[in-house]
Amino acid sequence: MPSKTKSVDTRTHSRLVVDGIKQAPARAMLHAVGFSDRDFAKPQIGIASTWSNLTPCNMHIDELARLAAAGVEAHGAKAVTFNTITVSDGISMGTPGMRYSLVSREVIADSIETVVGAQGFDGVLAIGGCDKNMPGCLIALARLDRPAVFVYGGTIRPGADKRDIVSVFEAVGGVAQGTVTEKQLKFVERTAIPGPGSCAGMYTANTMASAIEALGMSLPNSSAQDAVSEHKRDDCSRAGAAVVKLVKMGLRPRQIMTRKAFENAITVVIALGGSTNAVLHLLAMASSANVKLGLDDFTRLGKRVPVLADLRPSGRFSMSELVAIGGIQPLMKTLLDAGLLHGDCLTVTGATLAENLHAVRPYADGQEIIRPLNDPIKKDSHLVVLYGNLAPEGAVAKITGKEGLSFKGNARVFNSEEESLQGILTGKVKSGDVVVIRYEGPKGGPGMREMLSPTGAIVGRGLGSEVALITDGRFSGGSHGFVVGHVSPEAAVGGPLALVKTGDEITIDAERREISLHVPAAELKRRRQLWQPPKPYAKRGALAKYSKTVSSASLGAVTDLE
């Protein structure tokens, strides 16, 4: 921890922009946007807002940014708010637009880094509320390594009869199956999303918010608050005060985002039964913080960390219901007391994780959302890293145990998400099939689209426990069933997934952590000689640049590896 007695320059960066005679032009520009003479002597805090009315996840963040800025200025610093982009996975899911989802993570990180670096802010407060803008914010904060706090925009309240966005995707499959009428689908559509906030289950947004809190980069309980609540408003004001304190302490993100802190984040994600996307994003965030983290770390930690949370999509409860019983702090205290968390990790409070959790009380008796350690939902991790001749660099499965622990079937191959969805909805996919969706990886997609439309359709057609699905794409946190994603190397670069043919036998074994294609090596060699790489989806623009620079999913799908 930085010395409490050593004097810290609170204006390391801003003084280069606004001090001295030669910087008079800069001050003139800033006077026009509301700076007073006194403001130039204060540390400057950039407020990175992901507000837009594109999506419920972010539609309220403009108000949260104003509250955070007020918290900054009430504690002697100058707040300057700027925006970055966001896109909606839920809206673009199953369309070509979904190719831009993971790409947006890099655009967000690049844009925050660009603004903060150009303007010379001394600290940063970032507010995110959707799947990709949260890790995007953290990647930027790690790169910049200036005192920083992250604020989660908060979870949405469930719709009628506890419906949420996943209910709509599954109802679409129900229409194809004949178990849901178009009138019923319309009712689900109109009642599933009641207002602002991120998707209601332990999907990717709530998973990443929880991981970031466990990492130490947001204030205690920031991950477990309703988007529309006094608790969330107060969280923003307190975060404004916290970032000013960090500037005065000289405490920076890379002192918080250590290897031990990432292990804490992985542990909490496992205990909560979180999204497979956490693997991809935590690898990317660690890369930006210069922390060595790999797929095998998830396996190592997963052997001793149980799944305790009965949360959607595979469980019964919503994030709002977890909020009502105390959020994730009591869970973290349980894990700490059991020796499963590193209590000496620093956090944005300026105190350690153990100090933050010292006075946290356990959950009240009778709650059913978080199970005790001696009665887990699953005794080890649901995030299972698989290797084998189909995935030499690894693949990631989400196995809660409800799907079974192994699956053997014959491949039903599709070369895009659209092809697969058409095959599922028209009855081409049968019980016992292993659905293969390829050319959807980071480079091949490009953008590694999420397969919520196919998995939702499979569940809606009543095949959730009767087929498996493997892909070099990825999954929404709302996906459930026997699904394996992030298959690496991906098909577009000649990975073994490119060589699979319909009818080939495939085995997925979660206990042995293996994924195997039962085709003789000589036949695979023959197929490889005949294989031709697909034509690139885009030759110019953001998707083309992304495809050229993005790494394997096994490395986090980052775009700035050395």
154 in Cβ contact with 198 (< 8 Å): yes
Nearest to 312 by CA among 205, 178, 195, 449: 205
Q: What's the gap between Cα 86 and its chain centre? A: 14
Count the Cβ atoms, other than its own, within 10 Å of residue 499.
22
Any idea what DSSP says for residue 517? E
Q: Give dist(CA 557, CA 562) in Å, integer.
A: 13
In 3-state terms the chain splits into helix, strand, coil percentages (rounded to 5) of: 40, 15, 45
| E-assigned strand segments in 98-172 | 123-128, 148-152
Q: Give dist(CA 245, CA 251) in Å, integer.
A: 9
Q: Which amino acid is at 301?
A: L
Q: Give dist(CA 414, CA 410) in Å, integer.
A: 13
For residue 109 the two structure tokens come to: 């990180």
| Residue showing tokens 């953008």 | 447
Query: Helices 61-73 and 230-249 sit at what angle, rounded to 10 degrees?
Result: 40
Reduced to 3 states (helix: H, G, I; strand: E, B; else coil), residue 436 is strand
Q: Give dist(CA 410, CA 504) in Å, integer.
A: 5
Q: What's the start-to-end Cα distance of the chain, in Å? A: 29
Give me the phi and psi of 56, to 5 degrees please. -60, -30
330 in Cβ contact with 221 (< 8 Å): no
Q: By CB neighbour count within 10 A (0-12 exposed, 13-18 middle, 19+ buried), where does 374 fall?
A: exposed
Q: Which entry of 88, 104, 222, 476 is annotated as an active-site residue?
A: 476
Q: Give dist(CA 334, CA 309) in Å, integer.
A: 13
Q: Give dist(CA 322, CA 457) in Å, integer.
A: 28
Active site residue 476: yes
Q: Give dist(CA 398, CA 202) in Å, integer.
A: 13
Which residues sit opposite 44 in a β-bridge?
A: 78
Query: Helices 277-288 and 100-119 sit at what angle, rounded to 10 degrees?
Result: 30
Q: Which amino acid is at 426?
A: T
Any idea what DSSP says for residue 34? T
Catalytic residues: 476
